[in-house]
């Protein structure tokens, strides 16, 4: 997926604030020519959603735009390095002028599961933090297994029987509570015996007396006797630059409900009660991180971890760093992307049987393991937003999944005081308050960024939030649709912050001069003009009548020319557009192809 001009501008801005590369972004100065990128290309190809390489920024100088000398030669060199991988990685290129300097932006696509793992010089690589590492043989087997699964259907590892187990290995109290809940919630099960319920709900394997992996993990008296990796390792991890050692290292065991309670107690023990400021500017005590959000994320890691034999030896891990809570589990997402988490489409149970069991199981603290409504990530984001905290970051590595929860507030006391003076009635929403507070310190926002940070929120609500700030005189819009960003009004900018986003102009795509519409668009225009191909589509209706030029369609429908071009591009991609001429060719006309 290419970056739009405004998205690339915001990415450069974010790199400068962050001070280093990201997991899915690698930056090279490339002043001495083509850098060695084989490992990075290989790692991005093995990532579910690929990654981006930017040449021409100087990380040692705050990611200043220094440019490259021969973009075409660099692109050819990267393409050659990508072809040297097994199988080759697919890369697309864009040349962009950033603050007057020419940059090369290479977008590396993640390989299909059936083609993974990608290897360079015999080794498979994966991305970790902002570096590349050689995958272990166990991780390679994980990817290979996923490729097999993708072709023949996913095996249900949570339904597999565990050798040496029997009903005697269940925790009596957990089993009794589960059976009672199963009877209470199902008319079909209300008259069944305990053992029949355990069979029907896949606690005991079908036609067998062994426990399933799900049954052992969720209801076993001590699952680690049979599968030691069904556990949690947690530790307080100090700043790597300090001489301090890891603190409060624990290895938590027991069935899943006990693991969840013990992990929560560990997080509460190692985090602080902090002073937070409300909408009225008054201070009050609150947990450093909303515990409801922490609980949901740990429960997800336990319930959705990969239970296949290729992950034996890998545990759920919790690390508490100075600035971040890190929760990791073996196995990546299944059937959804990280961007879909917390949206109506972002629901997929990796372990279907275990998930259903956990809906009926309570922890020792008498709370359900999960609610089972599929809205947990949305609730996490909401809880963090109400606490004036950044949204969590989700990283899907394919062989592992990690959640990063910042231990910081988005709105500091000085900004809250400023907000109170400009919104004394408290009419701004939580979303608007966080957006405008970050704008004061140089953050620029787009429609797509609002949806990403505050999901679930649709394009219309995101646009309304941004436009509402403009209407109040607190923010201003920059650029046109398709490249529109929003920034703080100049008179409210905090001292020492950048005045503008880096100026970005895409000049070439895959070696060819840029044409409109671009093959990649910021979601602000995509959502504002994404008209379904139905009878109430004015452009499609017009195109079914005769041949039209783009400018004529704009006049006919009342839409802007960029909107018309976007819609034409959508129709072309769908195979519903006949073209006389070519994109960017003067005098080109268009007509609809019948969908019959």
Most confident of 143-147, 496-500, 524-528: 143-147
**What DSSP state is assigned to residue 373?**
S
Q: Look at residue 17 and tell me if it is in a domain.
A: yes
Query: Are residues 359 and 310 located together in one domain of the fold?
Result: yes
Can you give the pLDDT at residue 520? 37
Handedness of CA 506, 511, 515, 519 (dihedral sign): negative
Q: Look at residue 382 and tell me if it is in a domain.
A: no
Can you give the pLDDT at residue 151? 62
Query: Are residues 132 and 257 located together in one domain of the fold?
Result: no
pLDDT tens readout for residues 33-80: 899 999 999 999 998 889 999 999 998 888 998 999 899 999 999 999
Q: Look at residue 109 and tell me if it is in a domain.
A: yes
Can you give the pLDDT at residue 115? 87
Can you give the pLDDT at residue 527? 37
Q: What number of other Cβ atoms are within 10 A of residue 442's Cβ?
A: 19
Is the pLDDT reported for residue 531 higher than 60?
Answer: no
Instruction: Find out whether 356 and 181 touch, Cβ atoms under 8 Å.
Output: no
Q: Look at residue 407 and tell me if it is in a domain.
A: no
Can you give the pLDDT at residue 536? 44
CA dist 103 and 82 (Å) reads 19
Is the pLDDT reported for residue 519 higher than 50?
Answer: no
Query: Are residues 195 and 343 located together in one domain of the fold?
Result: yes
Last residue of a domain, one of 135, 152, 169: 152
Can you give the pLDDT at residue 528? 34
Looking at residue 55, which CATH number applies to its domain?
3.30.950.30
Query: Are residues 146 and 64 located together in one domain of the fold?
Result: yes
Query: Are residues 490 and 574 located together in one domain of the fold?
Result: no
Query: Are residues 274 and 128 located together in one domain of the fold?
Result: no
Can you give the pLDDT at residue 526? 37
Task: Between 6 and 86, name the one with better pLDDT.
Answer: 86
pTM for the model stands at: 0.70
Query: Are residues 144 and 167 located together in one domain of the fold?
Result: no
Q: Look at residue 393 and tell me if it is in a domain.
A: no
Is the pLDDT reported for residue 393 higher than 90?
Answer: no
Task: Between 449 and 194, name the one with better pLDDT.
Answer: 194
Q: In the structure, what pLDDT confidence band is assigned to residue 397 with cuts at 50, 70 and 90? A: confident
Measured in degrees and rounded to the nearest 5, phi and psi for residue 364 equal -55, -25
Query: Are residues 215 and 364 located together in one domain of the fold?
Result: yes
Average pLDDT in the 78-87 region? 96
Instruction: Find out whether 320 and 235 touch, Cβ atoms under 8 Å.
Output: yes
Query: Are residues 115 and 14 located together in one domain of the fold?
Result: yes
Peptide bond into 517 cis (omega under 30): yes
Can you give the pLDDT at residue 525? 36
CA dist 7 and 12 (Å) reads 9
Query: Are residues 333 and 218 located together in one domain of the fold?
Result: yes
Average pLDDT in the 241-256 region? 85
pLDDT tens readout for residues 310-359: 888 899 999 998 888 999 999 887 766 676 676 655 566 789 999 999 99
Instruction: Find out whether 122 and 86 touch, Cβ atoms under 8 Å.
Output: no
Give first-to-last CA distance, the chain, whole Å: 31
Q: Look at residue 321 and tell me if it is in a domain.
A: yes
Is the pLDDT reported for residue 277 higher than 80?
Answer: no
Average pLDDT in the 235-254 region? 82
Query: Are residues 164 and 26 located together in one domain of the fold?
Result: no
Measured in degrees and rounded to the nearest 5, phi and psi for residue 403 equal -115, 130
**What DSSP state is assigned to residue 189?**
T
Q: In the structure, what pLDDT confidence band is assigned to residue 272 with cuts at 50, 70 and 90? A: confident
Can you give the pLDDT at residue 173? 95
In 67-225, alpha helices (H): 71-83, 137-152, 172-185, 194-200, 213-219
CA dist 300 and 378 (Å) reads 13
Q: How far is CA 346 from the centre of its chain?
A: 11
Provide the token pair at 239: 């700043």
Task: Between 563 and 70, name the one with better pLDDT.
Answer: 70
Average pLDDT in the 460-479 region? 88
Can you give the pLDDT at residue 310? 84
Average pLDDT in the 185-208 region? 93
Residue-range definition of the domain harbouring residue 111: 5-152
3-state SS class at 232:
strand
Last residue of a domain, one of 479, 499, 519: 499
Query: Are residues 491 and 560 located together in one domain of the fold?
Result: no
Domain count, the chain: 4
pLDDT tens readout for residues 286-315: 678 889 999 999 999 999 999 988 888 899
């Amino acid at each position: 997926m290419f970056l739009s001009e405004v998205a690339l501008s915001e990415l450069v801005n974010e790199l400068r604030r962050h001070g280093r590369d990201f997991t899915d972004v690698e930056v090279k100065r490339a002043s001495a020519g083509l850098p060695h990128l084989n490992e990075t290309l290989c790692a991005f190809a093995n990532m579910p959603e690929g990654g981006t390489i930017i040449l021409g920024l100087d990380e040692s100088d705050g990611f200043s735009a220094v440019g490259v000398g021969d973009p075409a030669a660099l692109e050819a060199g990267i393409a050659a390095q990508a072809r040297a991988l097994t199988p080759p990685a697919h890369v697309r290129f864009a040349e962009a002028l950033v603050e007057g300097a020419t940059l090369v932006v290479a977008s590396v696509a993640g390989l299909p599961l059936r083609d993974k793992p990608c290897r360079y010089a015999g080794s498979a690589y994966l991305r970790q933090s902002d570096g590349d590492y050689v995958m272990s043989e166990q991780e390679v087997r994980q990817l290979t297994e996923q490729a097999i699964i993708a072709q023949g259907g996913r095996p249900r590892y949570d339904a597999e029987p565990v050798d040496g187990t029997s009903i005697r290995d269940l925790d009596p109290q957990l089993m009794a509570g589960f059976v009672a809940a199963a009877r209470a919630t199902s008319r079909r099960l209300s008259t069944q015996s305990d053992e029949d319920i355990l069979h029907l709900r896949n606690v005991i394997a079908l036609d067998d007396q062994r426990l399933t992996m799900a049954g052992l993990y969720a209801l076993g008296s001590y699952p680690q006797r049979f599968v030691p990796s069904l556990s949690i390792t947690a530790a307080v991890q100090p700043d790597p630059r300090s001489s301090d050692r890891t603190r409060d290292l624990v290895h938590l065991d027991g069935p899943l409900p006990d693991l969840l309670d013990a992990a929560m107690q560990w997080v509460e023990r190692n985090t602080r009660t902090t002073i937070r400021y409300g909408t009225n500017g008054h201070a009050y005590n609150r947990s450093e991180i909303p515990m409801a959000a922490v609980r949901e994320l740990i429960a997800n890691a336990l319930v959705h971890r990969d239970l296949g034999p290729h992950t034996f030896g890998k545990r759920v891990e919790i690390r508490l760093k100075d600035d971040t809570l890190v929760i990791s589990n073996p196995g990546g997402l299944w059937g959804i992307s990280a961007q879909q988490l917390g949206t109506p489409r972002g629901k997929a149970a990796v372990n279907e049987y275990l998930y259903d069991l956990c809906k009926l199981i309570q922890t020792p603290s008498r709370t359900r393991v999960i609610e089972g409504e599929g809205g947990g990530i949305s609730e996490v984001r909401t809880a963090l937003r109400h606490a004036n905290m950044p949204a969590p970051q989700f990283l899907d590595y394919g062989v592992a999944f990690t959640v990063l929860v910042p231990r910081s507030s988005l709105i500091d006391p000085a900004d809250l005081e400023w907000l109170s003076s400009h919104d004394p009635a408290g009419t701004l929403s939580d979303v608007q308050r966080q957006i405008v507070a970050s704008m004061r310190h140089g953050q620029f926002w787009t429609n797509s960024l609002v949806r990403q940070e505050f999901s679930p929120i649709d394009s219309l609500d995101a646009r309304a939030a941004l436009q509402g700030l403009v209407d109040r005189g607190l923010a201003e819009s920059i650029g046109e649709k398709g490249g529109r960003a929003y920034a703080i009004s100049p008179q409210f900018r905090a001292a020492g912050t950048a005045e503008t986003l880096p100026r970005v102009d895409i000049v070439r795509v895959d070696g060819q001069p840029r044409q409109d519409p671009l093959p990649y668009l910021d979601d602000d225009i995509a959502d504002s003009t994404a008209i379904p191909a139905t009878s109430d589509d004015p452009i499609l209706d017009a195109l079914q009548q005769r041949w039209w030029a783009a400018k004529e369609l704009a006049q006919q429908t009342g839409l802007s020319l960029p909107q018309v071009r976007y819609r034409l591009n959508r129709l072309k991609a769908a195979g519903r557009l006949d073209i006389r001429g070519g994109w960017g060719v003067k005098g080109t006309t268009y007509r609809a192809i019948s969908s019959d």
